[in-house]
Amino acid sequence: MNASLLSILQKSRRAVFFGGAGVSTESGIPDFRSAHGIYAEGGEIPPEEILSHHFFLAHPDVFFDFYRRHLLFPDAKPNRAHTALARLEAAGRLAAVVTQNIDGLHQAAGSKNVFELHGSVHRNACMTCGRPYPLSFILESEGVPRCPACGGTVKPDVVLYEEPLDDGCMNAAVRAISSADTLLIGGTSLAVYPAASLTRWFRGTSLVIVNLSPTPQDSSADLVVAEPIGQALGDAVDALLSPG
């Protein structure tokens, strides 16, 4: 257990967590940029191209084939990192989770105040009539999912390349981070913008980065923990919230 991380959490009352794909790898969901990540898959068309707005519009059949195979993990369960953060929030020590993930595992673990910068696979809507559909509709359909009501394409509420982030979500994340006393960053390379730029709004006391590989902001951190995030957060929160 990292004593320095525990000490920071003991002093925190308005912590905010900012995380990325590395938070969910312990749940069996691959990240994007590691040696075994989605972008290392290869193939004739780069994944970044397939996951772009213009490619989605031009080749929805190819997009949805890739999307179902590589981005949907309906059986994934929250890991120790997710549950540790939910426990911190329930204890009144964590104000918000700001995530780049689209898997919904923070909410499944019990977190309430979650800002999903890149959307969620659990929200889908017809591009023509706006009718909402759950994840199961995408999983159970074949090819391009079509709205039974009007025949329009049902698009996942996930931010593709070339698409802007939701202003309301970004503004709420900025407010949370700017009012935090501790910013916990975990499971992210801090290489995806504009999401990574949110850290510049932090004005609190302790900046902590929990990540297995170095990030561009390590030199600015008060503490860098190069451990699996489930282990680091799980052990620290167990020690913090244990009776006595």
Count the neighbouring beta carbons within 10 Å of the beta carbon of residue 57. Answer: 13
Under 8 Å between Cβ of 108 and 82: yes
Annotated catalytic, 122? no
- How far apart, in Å, are the Cα atoms of 126 and each of 12, 138, 143, 150? 43, 11, 15, 9
What is the sign of the dihedral through the CA atoms of 209, 206, 223 and 12?
Answer: negative
Out of 82, 106, 118, 122, the active site residue is 118
CA separation for the pair 112, 89 (Å, rounded): 8
Strand ranges of the sheet holding 223-225, from the earlier edge strand across to the other edge: 114-116, 94-99, 15-19, 182-186, 206-210, 223-225
Tell me which residues are annotated as active site: 118
